[in-house]
Structure 1
Amino acid sequence: MAQPWLAKTKILHRLGFGLGMGITVMMLTLTWLGLTPLVRLENTFLDFRFKLRGDRPVGQEVILVLIDEKSLKELGRWPWSRDKQGHLVKGIAADGAKVIGLDIIYAEPEVTESLRELREILSTASATGVAPPALRETLHKKLVVADTDHQFTNSLHIAKNVVLALPLLVPATHSTQLDLIPTTTAPEYIKRSEFMLVRQASSGEALEPHQATAALPPLKPFAEQAISLGHVYSLPDPDGVMRYEYLALRYHDAYYPSFGLEVARIYLGIPRDRMALILGQGVHLDEMLIPTDQKARMLINYVGREHSFPYVSATDVIHKRVSQGIFKDKAVLVGTTALGTYDQRTTPFSANFPGVEKNATVVENILHQQFLEKSVWSGPLEVSMILLFGLTLTYSLEKLRALPGTFMAASVFLGYAAVAQYLFVKQAIWIPVFNPLLTIAVTFITLTVLSFMTKERQAKEIRTMFSSYVSPRIVEELIKFPAKATLGGQRKELTMLFTDLINFTTFSEKHSAEDVVTQLNEYLGGMTEVVFRWNGTLDKFVGDEMVVFWGAPLDQPDHAELAIKCALHMRKRLGELQEKWKTEGRFQLDNGIGINTGTALVGNIGAEGKK
């Protein structure tokens, strides 16, 4: 025969403990495995923390020059001729910019139709020798004017502070086809932009940064006139959100800094030989350490949505419609934002974030040391929090009722979330949130559902078992502490009350059975109300006799006092009944009461499910 739920209290406690431990072990295992869905959810929680923090103040050192819709409307479709772009660079440099970053690719020469024709004419004239020297000189001057690449090179030479973009290709995992033709060796002219100092972190746990297999470097004349080159490789997380900046990429046997890093280094005036890549730790800019993960990635601490940085339209710069000195001592980044002309990024704040503004954010992070750090101890912290929350809730929820248990779980959940947000906003530290909070939620829900199911069944059994012979208050107490209602017996000190009617046999012989039952039920009903009023346990009716006791199933230290008060109240209630019976002309019943205190074996003794 199956045990009643009351008899399974210890088993259910063990079950709850086992479930709580199982959830904790499961969460530890999932954390160790680093499953992609859980990583994505953790990243989603990071995005939510950005939004909860909101926009933050941005420094004034960085300003953007944007090739926007207004610029295209006034100056024509993109790409513009390079003489026009050179004019833009000279205008920014002339206003005193400290460094100019061109987030534009210059991998191919620009050959216009007029330039091609002039070259052919000059080549023919030189080959035949029929053209006079004056004509050849005139053709050569026109050729120089028509050569927009030459004019752009001259603009870079005049500015002397331009950083150009260096596109490096990192193939996708398992990719066998490259969109670019692999280079056998890195061009010599880009090697002056590589890290001069590279070493391994002392921990020895570093991984190699991503390996580039091909490059689309700027044209050699451009690269030679630029102050530096910076790679513009970016890779979003699997959910498409751009959260990291790759501060270093390996290409052949060298490591190349990112575009944003180079712009920041030059702005700060730090020589290249004072910049060091520490694999597994970060990038040193003189005394500053930019923390990175083991893949040389820096977490980007976004300012807010797009257009968070001050900006001007490129056409206004070319047409000299900007205030004089607007670029003085600034880091100026030039890029495209017109629809269909730029690399669109998804960030925690926006799904339409221009790549040039992402680079500006990296520069701002470095200049103001606004580094968002996920420390090496975040892994051990995550494991510790899962263990702490899992074990604490497993132990506590088994002992607490529903409301206090819910309050405790909610306090732990919200408290940890609040601490994580505080560290994120005030200390720029990213601690894991999702797995610890999931541990709290799953443990609470599982144990609460188990408790609800078992306690409902136990409450039903208690009401069925006890409501006929104890007061409602005691029933509710037993529901709160069901272990006290389990089948069995134990020795306890009790006070017993015995009462029966005097001359009941004579009364029964002289009245009909119907009258006897009616008056007896009225008497027993009145006495039962008094017993329950004084929280007694009604043991049994034996004809006209009642057996009542105090001290079980709940402990009642004043059981003797309660029994005496109950006896006095029974006599009073009987007097009220006698007055009623006298007016009705019915037999005057009387009772005798005996009380005794002593040790007895007491419990819900009998067949399972029967009282």
Structure 2
Amino acid sequence: MKKFIFSNALWGVLLSLLTLFFYFTGSGIETIESKFYDFRSKLRAENFPKTEFAIIEIDDESISKIGRWPWSRDKVSDMLVWLSSAPAKPSVIGLNILFSEKEKNDSLKATQILKGKYTQLLKDNKIKERGKDSEFLKAIDEISENMNMDAKLALAITDANNIILPMYMKTDNLMTKPDEAPNWIRKFAIKTDDFENEAEENLMEGSAMTVPLEVLSSSVAGIGHVNVFSEPDGTIRREYPFISYNTEVFPSFALEIVRTHLKRKSEELIIMPGHGISIGKYTMPLDASSSMLVSYTNGETSFKSYSFYDVINGKVVPEAFRDKIVLIGPTAQGIGSFYVTPLEKNLPAVKFTANIIENILHNNYIVRPTWSFQAELALILLVAIFITFVLPRLKALIGAILTILILGGIISAGIFLFVSKGEWIK
């Protein structure tokens, strides 16, 4: 009896049961799988240039030469005016800066105070003007208009007619019903009339939103969320193309950029929670949580980047942006958002967005095949049979060689499917 208890066969059974336990619970083994996933992601990463992109970086050089962040918004509006003029004219501009509050402008505030004081003096008859209309008040209004950088940026956005702005959603505190979304934001919600009843179970839900100013949002081509969700190890491996808010669904920043680039209307987005998203000839596969696994490219070689300072100072030819997807965002240290990904420790948000857009336009996806669970379970059982009944009957050397060959074959097959086919088998 003691000999049986400590037999190799019993150890094989126990090891197999332990493996099945870890597989179904995810305890411990998920950390190992995540590291192996990242290793395969590095092997899969493409290095060739994506010619439809141009990234304008608010980089360290721009900060040092233009001034500390945040800049006055006329700097951004000047860039939009330049890009929107021939011969530049990109197909879409993703402005990855959240303008949720009015620009602090002490000079503008001073002119408003001066106008108020002067108006009160006129009302109190302490001063008099000869003309019917006050030339002084007209002058103040003209000065105020020139100082209103939010209005200047809004005008640049209106004239461009292809700007996508970001918004942010909180996704905690779902116990209470969120406040109604502003009307100027609701027009960017995706139509969801055809959703199945169980769709809500597959949606990430928002509890509050931070949105761009109404004066900026009124004439943009689209607005999308820039939320990212890290996994337990802090790494970003997924994109959520839409988030539910109350009874409406809002697209991501990247998805809105793609839609505008393809010249599609919001109602042409067909979303199937837990299955996929269709837009024209493009289909984005989604997992059960309605997220998409991001297939990262080598950012240093895949996306052509330019310094904001160089572009605005005429050091880059405007033709470099013609008909391109132009993304503008911070990459300088200390401003903006940076993410840990399978390939990089500090990926700027603007380049994260570029990766997602690239995945959609190039059909470059990582998916869990429908047969993945059956395949993984079959492999576990086959290895269990080998360890329990075959390995104990073999000589040590032969057993070691066979074990190495089997494990090597399984690992190699997993790497091949992931790198070449974009199919993730754990």
The normalised TM-score by structure 1 is 0.65
Residue 141 (structure 1) shift:
0.8
Residue 21 (structure 1) shift:
2.1
CA contact (8 A) 1:111 1:147 kept: no
Counting matched residue pairs gives: 416
CA contact (8 A) 2:172 2:206 kept: yes
Question: After the TM superposition, which residues 383-402 of structure 1 pair with which residues of structure 2 at under 5 Å, given as runs?
Answer: 383-402=377-396
SS in 1 for 2:425: coil
Question: After the TM superposition, which residues 475-486 of structure 1 pair with which residues of structure 2 at under 5 Å, given as runs?
Answer: none
Matched, 1:226 2:217: no
Matched, 1:142 2:143: yes
2:357 match: 363
Question: After the TM superposition, which residues 397-476 of structure 1 pair with which residues of structure 2 at under 5 Å, given as runs?
Answer: 397-432=391-426
Residue 205 (structure 1) shift:
8.4
- How far, CA to CA, are the matches of 1:127 and 1:283 in structure 2? 59
2:179 match: 184
SS in 1 for 2:295: coil
Cα displacement string for residues 99-136 of structure 1 (whole angstroms, at most 9, x for unaligned residues): 00011110000131110011112233334434552221
Cα distance, 1:208–1:340 mapped onto 2, change above 3 Å? same
1:117 aligned residue (106, 110, 113):
110
SS in 1 for 2:48: coil
1:237 aligned residue (231, 235, 241):
231
2:70 match: 79
Residue 210 (structure 1) shift:
1.9
Cα displacement string for residues 15-50 of structure 1 (whole angstroms, at most 9, x for unaligned residues): 322221222122112211222x32222111100112
2:330 match: 336
Matched, 1:56 2:50: no
> Relative contact order (alpha carbons < 8 A, sep ≥ 6): 1 or 2 greater?
2
- How far, CA to CA, are the matches of 1:200 and 1:380 in structure 2? 29
CA contact (8 A) 2:174 2:206 kept: no
Residue 406 (structure 1) shift:
1.2
CA contact (8 A) 1:283 1:291 kept: yes
- How far, CA to CA, are the matches of 1:428 and 1:198 in structure 2? 32
Q: Which amino acid aligns with 2:110?
A: E
2:59 aligned residue (52, 68, 91):
68
CA contact (8 A) 2:202 2:289 kept: yes
Residue 294 (structure 1) shift:
2.0
Matched, 1:91 2:57: no
- How far, CA to CA, are the matches of 1:112 and 1:172 in structure 2? 34
Residue 353 (structure 1) shift:
1.0
Question: After the TM superposition, which residues 597-608 of structure 1 pair with which residues of structure 2 at under 5 Å, given as runs?
Answer: none
Higher Rg of the two aligned structures: 1
- How far, CA to CA, are the matches of 1:198 and 1:398 in structure 2? 60
Q: Which amino acid aligns with 2:167?
A: L
Q: Which amino acid aligns with 2:18?
A: M
1:126 match: 119
- How far, CA to CA, are the matches of 1:54 and 1:100 in structure 2? 25
Residue 356 (structure 1) shift:
0.9
1:303 match: 297
CA contact (8 A) 2:254 2:353 kept: yes
Residue 153 (structure 1) shift:
0.3
CA contact (8 A) 1:68 1:314 kept: yes
CA contact (8 A) 1:198 1:277 kept: no
2:167 match: 166
CA contact (8 A) 1:280 1:292 kept: yes
Residue 284 (structure 1) shift:
1.4
- How far, CA to CA, are the matches of 2:120 and 2:199 in structure 1? 64
- How far, CA to CA, are the matches of 2:18 and 2:143 in structure 1? 76
SS in 1 for 2:422: coil
CA contact (8 A) 1:306 1:352 kept: no
SS in 1 for 2:164: strand
Superposed CA RMSD in Å reads 2.3
- How far, CA to CA, are the matches of 2:233 and 2:299 in structure 1? 19
CA contact (8 A) 1:199 1:279 kept: no
Matched, 1:16 2:8: yes
Residue 55 (structure 1) shift:
4.1
Residue 173 (structure 1) shift:
9.2
SS in 2 for 1:107: coil
2:18 match: 26
Q: Which amino acid aligns with 2:36?
A: F
- How far, CA to CA, are the matches of 1:92 and 1:26 in structure 2? 60
Cα displacement string for residues 138-174 of structure 1 (whole angstroms, at most 9, x for unaligned residues): 1111110000000000000111000000111112799
2:125 match: none
Cα distance, 1:323–1:51 mapped onto 2, change above 3 Å? same
Cα distance, 1:156–1:353 mapped onto 2, change above 3 Å? same
Residue 273 (structure 1) shift:
1.2
Residue 198 (structure 1) shift:
5.7
Cα distance, 1:305–1:287 mapped onto 2, change above 3 Å? closer
Cα displacement string for residues 192-250 of structure 1 (whole angstroms, at most 9, x for unaligned residues): 11111364569x68733221111110000111121100001111111011101111111
2:272 aligned residue (275, 278, 293):
278
Identity of aligned residues (%): 28
Matched, 1:195 2:190: yes
Q: Which amino acid aligns with 1:18?
A: L
1:324 match: 318
Residue 257 (structure 1) shift:
0.7
Q: Which amino acid aligns with 2:11?
A: L
CA contact (8 A) 2:358 2:364 kept: yes
- How far, CA to CA, are the matches of 2:116 and 2:369 in structure 1? 64
The worse-fitting range, judged by mean Cα deviation, of 250-259 and 22-31 is 22-31
Residue 276 (structure 1) shift:
1.7
CA contact (8 A) 2:53 2:303 kept: yes
Q: Which amino acid aligns with 1:415?
A: G
Q: Which amino acid aligns with 1:104?
A: I
2:97 aligned residue (99, 104, 129):
104
1:579 match: none
SS in 2 for 1:326: helix
- How far, CA to CA, are the matches of 2:189 and 2:264 in structure 1? 15
Matched, 1:379 2:380: no
- How far, CA to CA, are the matches of 2:93 and 2:187 in structure 1? 18
- How far, CA to CA, are the matches of 1:318 and 1:93 in structure 2? 13
- How far, CA to CA, are the matches of 2:194 and 2:39 in structure 1? 36
The normalised TM-score by structure 2 is 0.92
Q: Which amino acid aligns with 2:159?
A: I
Cα distance, 1:57–1:153 mapped onto 2, change above 3 Å? same
Cα distance, 1:398–1:198 mapped onto 2, change above 3 Å? farther
CA contact (8 A) 1:171 1:212 kept: yes
Residue 51 (structure 1) shift:
2.4
Residue 390 (structure 1) shift:
1.3
CA contact (8 A) 2:188 2:223 kept: yes
- How far, CA to CA, are the matches of 2:83 and 2:192 in structure 1? 32
SS in 1 for 2:320: coil
- How far, CA to CA, are the matches of 2:163 and 2:312 in structure 1? 17
